[in-house]
């Protein structure tokens, strides 16, 4: 593994690049001093923070995700925050971002997690169109292991697996983040209730029907889309609008990755194709099965590289 880590750090300096802090907001929420705003969405703002009783020169080693004020009376948004807090505390896994503490009983609603080193896989792909085979399989395997822990320990589906929610450290350690959309299998929720359109690129076909009927295999599909994108440098499906994108996810067969990535083996292409099967029953049965297969493919890729 040391060889892979060394290779990753050397060949992917983009991971070392610190996140540019666009603006600074200093404030306090509960026992936490908010040092800088680092990200925001329609639902929440994310800050780096430190305990309020710590010295001002102490580094901010935590991340506080705060539900935006306009959602404080939205029962569904509050429930999502509470569920994320519960899952983040219940599931302990090295590749899943934990929730260390939370304030979800009354406004302001927030969760606290450790600050991760590195960059999101989406940011890395912005600078580097695709990653080496061995590194790609390694990252995907780590995410599959995180999903397996989520599925088996909390009996929850992540429902938002995509490069933007995978943080890769300088040594190649991958962490699946953002539990804001976790839900139980089969829970009814229409995709249009999500405020983030970009997620549509990664949602499984069964999640794009009139009501949500998802399963752990839905996360396998989303990881398959992510793996396809990292391997080939492009998404398996693109559309001019949501309607066309949804139709392609439900009806169109993606190009085999070997057409876009000639060095991909038949075994890698087969796994990706099965992960992207329209019928959930034709996908790998579990994230654990995906992880096991990825381990074998990693070993094969190392052997091929050293041959």
What is the residue-wise DSSP string for 211-258? S----HHHHHHHHHHHHHHHHHSS-S---SSHHHHHHHHHHPPPPPHH
Right CATH for 18-114 from 3.40.1410.10, 3.40.50.800, 3.40.50.300, 3.30.200.20: 3.30.200.20
Element (H, E) at 27: strand 27-29
Q: For 158, how many CA atoms within 13 A lie in the half-sphere containing its CB?
A: 32
Neighbouring residues of 182: CB distance < 8 A, sequence distance ≥ 6: 83, 84, 87, 150, 154, 156, 157, 158, 159
In the numeric block, the tokens 């603006």 are attached to: 23
Residue (of 68, 72, 69) closest to 39 by Cα position: 68
What tokens appear for 96 in the block?
A: 């899943």
Distance, CA of 214 to CA of 217 (rounded, Å): 8
**Which of 6-15, 40-49, 112-121 has the weakest average pLDDT?**
6-15
What tokens appear for 234 in the block?
A: 């492009």
Fill in the DSSP letter of residue 181: T
Tell me the whole-structure pTM to 2 decimals: 0.87
Fill in the DSSP letter of residue 19: P
pLDDT in tens, 81-116: 999 999 999 999 999 999 999 999 999 999 999 999
Right CATH for 119-306 from 3.40.50.970, 1.10.357.10, 1.10.510.10, 3.40.50.300: 1.10.510.10
Fill in the DSSP letter of residue 157: B
* 160 catalytic residue (yes or no): yes
pLDDT in tens, 211-264: 557 899 999 999 999 999 999 999 999 988 888 989 999 999 999 999 999 999
What is the three-class DSSP state of 150? helix
Q: List Cα–Cα distances, 88 to 71, 153, 273, in angstroms.
A: 21, 11, 31
Distance, CA of 87 to CA of 191 (rounded, Å): 21
Q: What is the pLDDT of residue 122?
A: 95
Element (H, E) at 47: strand 44-51
Query: Residue 50 — φ and ψ, nearest 5°?
Result: -145, 160
Catalytic residue chosen out of the listed positions 148, 160, 178, 219: 160
Give the domain ranges of the chain. 18-114, 119-306
Q: What is the pLDDT of residue 189?
A: 59
């Amino acid at each position: 593994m040391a060889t892979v880590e060394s290779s990753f750090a050397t060949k992917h300096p983009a991971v070392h690049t610190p996140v540019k802090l666009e603006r600074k907001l200093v404030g306090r929420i509960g026992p936490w001093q908010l040092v800088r705003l680092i990200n925001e969405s329609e639902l929440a703002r994310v800050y780096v923070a430190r305990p309020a009783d710590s010295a001002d020169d102490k580094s901010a080693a935590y991340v506080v995700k705060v539900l935006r004020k306009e959602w404080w009376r939205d029962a569904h948004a509050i429930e999502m925050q509470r569920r994320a807090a519960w899952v983040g505390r219940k599931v302990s896994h090295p590749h899943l971002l934990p929730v260390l503490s939370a304030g979800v009983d009354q406004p302001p609603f927030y969760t606290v997690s450790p600050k991760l080193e590195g960059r999101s896989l989406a940011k890395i792909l912005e600078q580097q169109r695709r990653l080496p085979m061995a590194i790609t399989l390694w990252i995907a395997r780590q995410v599959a292991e995180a999903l397996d822990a989520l599925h088996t320990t909390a009996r929850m589906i992540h429902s938002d697996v995509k490069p933007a929610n995978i943080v890769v450290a300088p040594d190649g350690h991958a962490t699946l983040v953002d539990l804001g959309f976790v839900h139980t299998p089969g829970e009814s929720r229409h995709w249009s209730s999500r405020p983030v359109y970009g997620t549509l690129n990664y949602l499984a076909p069964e999640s794009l029907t009139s009501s949500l009927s998802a399963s752990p295999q839905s996360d396998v599909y989303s990881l398959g889309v992510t793996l396809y994108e990292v391997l080939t440098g492009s998404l398996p499906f693109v559309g001019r609008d949501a309607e066309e994108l949804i139709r392609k996810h439900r009806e169109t067969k993606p190009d085999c990755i070997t057409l876009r990535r000639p060095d991909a083996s038949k075994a890698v292409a087969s796994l990706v194709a099965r992960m992207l099967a329209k019928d959930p029953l034709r996908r790998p049965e579990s994230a654990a099965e995906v992880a096991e297969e990825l381990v074998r493919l990693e070993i094969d890729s190392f052997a091929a590289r050293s041959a």
